[in-house]
Amino acid sequence: RVPMDTFKILVPVHEGAYENWKQFSRALLTHVNPYTQRSYANEPALAWLAMINEGNMGNFFRDIRTFPEWKAAWNRWLTARYSNRAALASAWKQELKDGEDPAAGTVELPERLQQEGLRARDGIAFLSHTERELVLKMKRFLRDELGCRALVSNASSWTRFGTDQGAR
C-alpha cells in the first residue's frame, strides 16, 4: 500500500503509478449509471474531475527531492534544455557543483523553490513543464480513450507556485 501523497508524487514520473491512475480512472468512468444507462464518462451530471486532488507538484517539493525518479526526470529535462554540462555551467556559473552533470544524472534539484538563483528558476520551470505534460497526457486519456467530456483540473491546491501555472 502506497500512501496517498506518495502516489500523487509518483504519477508524473513513474510509469507504474501513471498506469494505476489510468486503471482507476477507467474503472470509475466506464461504470454505468443504473438510472440513466450512461457510463459516468458520458453522464452530463458529471460536471468536472480533479485528475489528482491537490496534485500540483509545488505542494510536495520537499518530498519530491527524495525520489530518484524525480532526480532522473530533472536530469533528463536539463539535458534537453542545455546541450551539455558546459552549457549548463555557463548558465548556472557557481551554482553547478563539481561532479554534477545532467548526462550522468547527478545534478541535484534545488533545495527550495523560493530562493534566488538559476537552479531554483530552472526547478520551477521543470516542475511546470512536468505538470503541464502530465495534465495534457491525462486529458488525452480521458478524452480520447474514455470519451469523457467533463471539465478537468489538476489544480485544486493550496499553493500558488509558478509550478502549476502552465498546467492551469
Percent of residues, the chain, with pLDDT higher than 70: 92
Q: Give 12-19's long-range contacts (Cβ < 8 A, gap of 24+).
A: 12/57, 12/73, 12/130, 12/131, 12/133, 12/134, 13/67, 13/69, 13/70, 13/72, 13/73, 13/130, 14/69, 18/137
User: pTM for the full model?
Assistant: 0.90
Q: What is the pLDDT of residues 76-94, one digit of tens each?
A: 999 999 999 999 999 999 9
pLDDT at 161 over 90: no
Q: What is the pLDDT of residues 86-141, one digit of tens each?
A: 999 999 999 999 999 999 999 999 999 889 999 999 999 999 899 899 999 999 99
Higher pLDDT, 5 or 162: 5
pLDDT at 160 over 60: no
